[in-house]
Structures are given as C-alpha cells and as structure tokens.
A = this chain, B = another copy of it.
Amino acid sequence: MSAASLICDLGREFYRLGWATGTGGGICIREGEAVTIAPSGVQKERMTPEQMFTLSIDGTIISRPADPSLRPSECTTLFMAAIRHRQAGAVIHSHSINAMLATLLFEREFEISDLEMIKGIEGMSYHDRLVVPIIENTARECDLAVSLEAAIVAYPRTQAVLVRRHGVYVWGRDWQQAKTQAECYDYLFRAAVEIRKLEGAVDASLSSRPAESRVRR
C-alpha cells in the first residue's frame, strides 16, 4: 500500500478512535527524504490518496494535489521537528480526549509507572517511570513548533510530547511503531484518568494495594 493510501486508511481508523474528529489530528509518513502529508482542514475519515502532499524534509513541496484550494496540514512544521531530531518514519497527532484530560492532571510532565502497556514504548520496561513532557498550547498550531522542538531536545528518551488542553504528538521509526506507540500512550493517558476517578471516589479501599505499585504523581 502506498503511503498516500495508508494515510487515508489510518485516517479512517483514527477518526473511529476519536483521535481525529472535527478535521483535527493527523499522520505523516516518511520514505527516505520524502514525507507524505495530508491537507489542512479536511475530514480525516474521508480523505483520498489524490489529496496528499509530498514534501522534502526541509519543507519544500515535491508534489501537491490537483485541487488548488488545498494547503499542507498545519502540523507540518511540528511533524518535521520529530522527523529531523528523531529520524522518525511517521508522526501521529491525536486529539484524543484521553490525552487532553491527562494534561489536566499533571503540571509539567505526565508520569506513570508499573503498567504493562509502558512496555510498548521504545526503550521502556514495566517498572520504569514513563515521562511525557507537557508543553503549553498556543493560539496557532504553527507557534507550537519552538516549544515542541525544545521538549524533544530536553527529553531525549521520549517518543511523545503532550500539548496542554489540546492533544499529543507521537512518533516512531516507521508507521507501525508510531501507531503502536500512539495506542500505548493513549491507553496510559486513559488509565491515569480512570485511576484518578476511582481514587477520588474510594481512597481507602484503593490504598489497600501495595504503596509501591500505585501511580506516582
């Protein structure tokens, strides 16, 4: 399957998962020096391969869709930051409500440990403390690029950056790893939210499990 077709296929899947509603979210796929990227502001579950752009890593447009009204995704500079700094083969941007709510539970870093799904993240094992930096949202998506790049540099082990009250960027060496990691992070964000709800309701009974196995904050 071509990168263009795959992006359309994944767009439908991410829409169904609630990661790409309201034209939000998206994915880019890199093959060598060419990056295939979706247009801005279109319904992510109804894209066709003919609507895709191909850009070089420096952002130059290599090929573009016939429809002159289309522009490359507003995420382009953000996607390119992960590609340049991490040699990412694919970058996923999700508007999942789990990611957004997780940014309300932590100040500067999302932290969690001792959950099996942590093992789905590159270089992490079960007992490791998984940290995801949270950057503040900006009025325009392109203005996020500076702080996203700074977070990528400051957290050399992270495979994702959360954006407060917005969502998350996740990458990987190829689209399979990017998607797998995006699913693991989304599970972990949701787990943190659900655990918080249960703790609020029933502190006493939850504290009966060993202290060391609790979610750290």
Q: Is the CB of B24 within 8 A of A198?
A: no
| A138: Cβ under 8 A from any B Cβ | yes
Q: Are A97 and B213 interface neighbours, CB within 8 A?
A: no
Q: Tell me the bound Cα distance from A155 to B195 in angstroms.
A: 28
Contact yes or no, B217 A205, CB < 8 A: yes
The listed residue (B101, B115, B138, B180) touching A165 by CB distance below 8 A is B115
Chain A 144-182 residues near chain B, CB threshold 8 A: 163-167, 176, 179-181
Known: A139-B125, A139-B126, A187-B97. A104 touches B24 (CB 8 A): no
Cross-chain contact of A24 among B101, B120, B202 (Cβ < 8 A) = B120
Query: CA of A191 to CA of B97 in the docked complex: distance in angstroms?
Result: 7
Tell me the nearest residue of chain B to A203, going by C-beta: B200
**Residue positions of A touching B, CB distance < 8 A:** 21-24, 43, 95, 97, 100-101, 104-105, 107, 114-117, 120, 125-127, 137-139, 163-167, 176, 179-181, 183-184, 186-187, 190-191, 193-202, 205-206, 208-209, 213, 217
Query: 16 extra interchain contacts, Cβ-Cβ under 8 A, other than A116-B137, A125-B139, A126-B139?
Result: A22-B180, A24-B120, A43-B176, A95-B116, A97-B187, A97-B190, A101-B191, A101-B195, A104-B195, A104-B206, A197-B198, A199-B201, A200-B200, A200-B202, A201-B201, A205-B217
